[in-house]
Amino acid sequence: MRPTLAVLEQSLLERISDEAFTVLEKSGVLIEDENALARLAKVGMNADPENSRVRMPRALVEKALKDAPSSITLYNRDGDPAATLEEDKVHFVPASSALRVLDRKTQAQRNPTTADFVEYVKMADGLKNIDYLSTAFIPKDIPQDMADAWRLYLVLSHSKRPIVSGAFTSFGVPRMGQIMATFRNDKEDLVKRPMSIFTCCPNTPLRWGEDPISNIMDCAEWGIPIEIVPVLLLGMISPTTTIGAIVQHTAEVLSGLTIAQVVRPGTPVIFGGAPASFHMRLMTNPMTAVEALQMYCGYAQVAKFLKLPCQAYMALSDSKFNDPQAGMETGVGAFLAACAGFNSISGPGMLDYVNCFSLEKLVFDDEVVAHAKRFIRPVEVREDMPASDLIAELVRDKHLLTSEHTLQYWPEELYLPGPMVDRTNWDQWEDQGSHDWRERANQIINELLGSYEVEPLDEKIHTEVQDLFRRTCSDPNVILPSFTEQKV
């Protein structure tokens, strides 16, 4: 049996879905871009130019749900299957789109550079428990109208793993699609063997702005898997109560899913989310608030009821530093997310309200992920039922240290953590150099960077992609940061 978690009664799941259908039928969604509204009308949606709203009949949403796949396979840079998001299969990925990094030498937050990003990819590529990568933060030494595509290019240049990414502008997806198609035979091959999930966030409540609505339609046209991530703030721009908030959250996800399916039936869509609480005194938005965590687990149940893969921004921290609060929030989130069966969990490495990325935290979180994955491993009878003979052996010998049962099963049953979780006692710790957690984290980071070895990209690909950047950048004299010894 696999450990699971449920916060909603089963009978509520159908009622929540019905309420979401009603919201979309009665209120619909506001499209905050005239071009997108016309584009939706052109593909057959009921777009009202008078009030810019699109109302979605129940039958249309139900058909969209039938068209959306319940299983999504991601492929690596070489085109080989790498991860399948379905049922209760759990994957962890670094969180995305931080504005700053926590400098591991000075412990100060600062703007990231291309060099920081390359270091992140090379290090994260070697982590054993992180399933695929993300475009974790935004380099500032590149024109920001192309920073989304630049991050994607940097990951593809240094890792073969699938990627969670997204576009920052209304015109960002086609350029990123062209870059990814460079690694496939053609656009249709990219549709068949997607290498990336793109995040699209509606403007809560029930609004789609120019960038996300353009992105979701462009992703559908390119066949790029989409994670629809509403960012509800409980008590501010959503009901403060769990059920009401989940209804709104579900309606926002289904609105994006329906748009994607109308554009291209069969577009892979993930039921995502990044809800947060609204702190009524500080006016901050903690994503790790206990009520937000409860909502995450609730919408995971709704996603599974609707037979959709699901995603969450959990296993992260709102703390500004890698302190006890960060450890508590990350660990609790990771275990809840794993037990809830989220298929893609975006969070490791992130601090400070998704504003700051830390390599040291990512290394520590890799170990947290290992613990969470071990916890949800199904518990099975392993020659210990009936247990009377085993207990009799224990009573007779007063230990089981050398029993055949222990020798056979302990390597799989007793998880031995890596150096980020210190299991030494005080004397052992002193004998081994008295290293604190940051010293151990930086040792691992340096080892991973030293042992990094991924087949470099062909020079022709670098030239083709960088020419694309120069042609499409708003600055005709743009100078691209150098990160490769190859001449491009």
Contact (Cβ atoms closer than 8 angstroms) between residue 366 and residue 129: yes
Continuous H helices in 348-387: 359-375
- Closest Cα to residue 191, out of 73, 342, 359? 73
Continuous H helices in 274-358: 290-305, 324-340
pLDDT for 43: 85
Instruction: Determine the residue type at 36.
Output: A
Tokens of residue 72, six digits? 């999504």
Contact (Cβ atoms closer than 8 angstroms) between residue 68 and residue 245: no
Instruction: Provide the 3-class DSSP secondary structure of residue 1.
Output: coil
Residues 6+ apart with CB under 8 A from 186: none
User: Rounded CA gap, 19 and 478, in Å?
Assistant: 50
Beta bridge partners of 271: 228, 310
- Closest Cα to residue 3, out of 419, 379, 322? 379
Residue 165: phi, psi to the nearest 5?
-145, -155
What Cα–Cα distance (Å) separates residue 194 from each residue in 62, 73, 75? Answer: 25, 8, 6
> pLDDT truncated to tens, each residue of the chain (488 aa)?
899 999 999 999 999 999 999 999 999 999 999 999 998 998 888 899 999 999 999 999 999 999 999 999 999 999 999 999 999 999 999 999 899 999 999 999 999 999 999 999 999 999 999 999 999 999 999 999 999 999 999 999 999 999 999 999 999 999 999 999 999 999 999 999 999 999 999 999 999 999 999 999 999 999 999 999 999 999 999 999 999 999 999 999 999 999 999 999 999 999 999 999 999 999 999 999 999 999 999 999 999 999 999 999 999 999 999 999 999 999 999 999 999 999 999 999 999 999 999 999 999 999 999 999 999 999 999 999 999 999 999 999 999 999 999 999 999 999 999 999 999 999 999 999 999 999 999 999 999 999 999 999 999 999 999 999 999 988 888 899 988 655 55
Q: What angle do CA 301, 306, 310 make, to 5 degrees?
A: 60
What confidence tens digit (pLDDT) does each residue in 176-200 have? 999 999 999 999 999 999 999 999 9
User: Rounded CA gap, 32 and 51, in Å?
Assistant: 10
Tokens of residue 458, six digits? 């062909």
pLDDT for 280: 95
Continuous H helices in 27-146: 34-42, 58-67, 114-124
Count CB neighbours of 240 within 10 A.
14
What confidence tens digit (pLDDT) does each residue in 126-139 have? 999 999 999 999 99
Residues 6+ apart with CB under 8 A from 377: 2
pLDDT for 44: 85
pLDDT for 179: 97
Q: Which helix (H) or strand (E) holds 85?
A: strand 81-85
Q: Which helix (H) or strand (E) holds 157?
A: helix 147-158
- Tokens 């893609």, residue? 344
- Tokens 């953590």, residue? 417
